[in-house]
Amino acid sequence: MKSLVALLVSLVSFAAGAWTNGALWYDTNGHVVNAHGGGVLTHKGRFYLYGEHKIYSGRGNRAHAGVHMYSSTDLETWRDEGLVLQVEDKPGSDIEDGCILERPKIVHCVKTGKFVMFFHLELKGRGYNAARTGIAVADKVTGPYAFQRSLRPNAGKWPVEIPEKERNEATLRKFYEAERPWGGKAQIWGAHFNGGQMSRDMTVYVDRDAKAYHVFASENNSTLHVCELTDDYLDYTGRWTRIAALDWTEAPAICFKNGWYYLIGSGCTGWRPNAARSYRAKSIMGPWERLGNPAKGVNPKTKYGQEITWGGQSNYILELADGRALALFDLWNPKNQIDARLVWLPIDFAADNTISITWRDEYSLKGASASSGKR
Ligand code: DGJ
């Protein structure tokens, strides 16, 4: 009888596939869904939502738990899968309780069968100065994810656009620092050539040929780097490029549609919202072309409009097998991040190969099925 009821409940919710943007979302235990800055992996008939587990008060701006995962067949009914990567008590651990562990992204490597998690890591007590990438691996999608290492990528590697004959000290010095639009100077990639490139806000994108790319805000957040990963997704091939150079873009998220890669992101204003931005490219390695703010409309409850992305910041684009794509945002609340809210909106792809994302209080994704998930 119990299983019959569960079946009926799941059938009803499958038909619904709806959510309210900016509201608290609850899991099947009645607890608030606590997964921010993350993404959704589609695997064997289920959607896996994962992200930063936040806690009460300003302490929630540091990692005290880890990465929380939920699963669903309809993007509405969420089953708690628990903390799949946990911060460690051991003093000096890279992922020690109190570090900053943001924007985790999980990809499935079909070649090795492993699930690989990348995240932005800041070592405990060092603010945002470490600017490292963390990597963790699991045998099952639901973990546990075992922390492998943290690093600054691409030490000693040249961006592909620098010709062989220019790979010298003089070129590194030319790319040593840049003006911050709000005053002062910031070091850029030439200054980090030997020690490895800074890596903060990030996503990982698996392309149609199964090649994976780590895309992150580097050079003090002034410029995005697109870096090809090795076939096992555990390392970098050393092939990397700078995109959106000196545009000061954070929160990158990528999708592919009708022959174009699209990237959405935000400006750099800390936890405060700003206008979203978008880019498109024919190749993920670029060149990428600026398209402007894709956000449209106003959230009538808060009166926050497109000029501040309804109070939100992008974190991921979920590509569905039927060609639809959902842009996922967080409405941050830095004084109490456990109260940060989720906003999921469909991307509208226009005939001129531009994109827009219009605010909707509620959204119903009829027929979304993870069984035909993209990957
Ligand atoms: C903006 C980033 O997108 C967030 O992930 C977080 O790092 C905040 N900055 C911190 O101010």
Q: What is the pLDDT of residues 81-137, one digit of tens each?
A: 999 999 999 999 999 999 999 999 999 999 999 999 999 999 999 999 999 999 999
Q: Angle 8-11-16 (CA atoms, 0-180°, nearest 5)?
A: 125
- Using the predicted structure, report yes or no on whether residue 32 has a pLDDT greater than 70: yes
Q: Is 271 in the pocket of ligand 1 (CB under 6 A)?
A: yes
Q: Is 62 in the pocket of ligand 1 (CB under 6 A)?
A: no
Q: How many domains does the chain have?
A: 1
Is residue 374 scored above 70 in pLDDT?
Answer: no
Task: Note the pLDDT of residue 1.
Answer: 45
209 alpha carbon – ligand 1 mean position (Å): 31
Is residue 14 scored above 80 in pLDDT? no
Tell me which residue has its CA closest to atom 11 in ligand 1: 270
122 lines ligand 1 (CB under 6 A): no
Q: Is 150 in the pocket of ligand 1 (CB under 6 A)?
A: no
pLDDT in tens, 289-348: 999 999 999 999 999 999 999 999 999 999 999 999 999 999 999 999 999 999 999 999
Which CATH number covers residue 68?
Answer: 2.115.10.20
Q: Residue 236 Cα, ligand 1 centroid: separation in angstroms?
A: 24
According to the model, what pLDDT value does residue 370 have? 65
Tens digits of residue pLDDT in 240-251: 999 999 999 999
Whole-number Å distance, alpha carbon 270 to ligand 1 midpoint, is 5
Q: Ligand 1 center to residue 201 CA distance, Å?
A: 7
The pLDDT of residue 2 is above 50: no
Name, in order, each residue with C-beta under 8 angstroms of 94's C-beta and a sequence gap of 6 or more: 121, 123, 132, 134, 147, 149, 150
| 143-169 pLDDT, tens digit each | 999 999 999 999 999 999 999 999 999
* Residue-level pLDDT at 371: 53
Please give the pLDDT value at position 17.
80
| Domain of 192, in residue numbers | 2-372
| 368 vs 216, more confident | 216
How far apart are the CA of 271 and the centre of ligand 1, in A? 6
Over residues 226-234, the mean pLDDT reads 98
Average pLDDT over residues 247-270: 98
Computed over every residue of the chain, the mean pLDDT equals 94
313 lines ligand 1 (CB under 6 A): yes
Pick the residue whose CA is nearest to atom 9 on ligand 1. Answer: 270
- 5 pLDDT higher than 60: no
Per-residue model confidence (pLDDT) at position 200: 98
pTM above 0.85, yes or no: yes
Ligand 1 atom closest to residue 102's alpha carbon, by position in its atom list: 5
Predicted confidence at residue 366, as pLDDT, reads 75
Q: Is the CB of 103 under 6 A from ligand 1?
A: yes
What is the 267 CA–ligand 1 centroid distance (Å)?
10
pLDDT interval class at 368 (50, 70, 90)? low
Residue 224 has pLDDT above 70, yes or no: yes
Which residue's alpha carbon is at the smallest distance from atom 10 of ligand 1? 270
334 alpha carbon – ligand 1 mean position (Å): 10
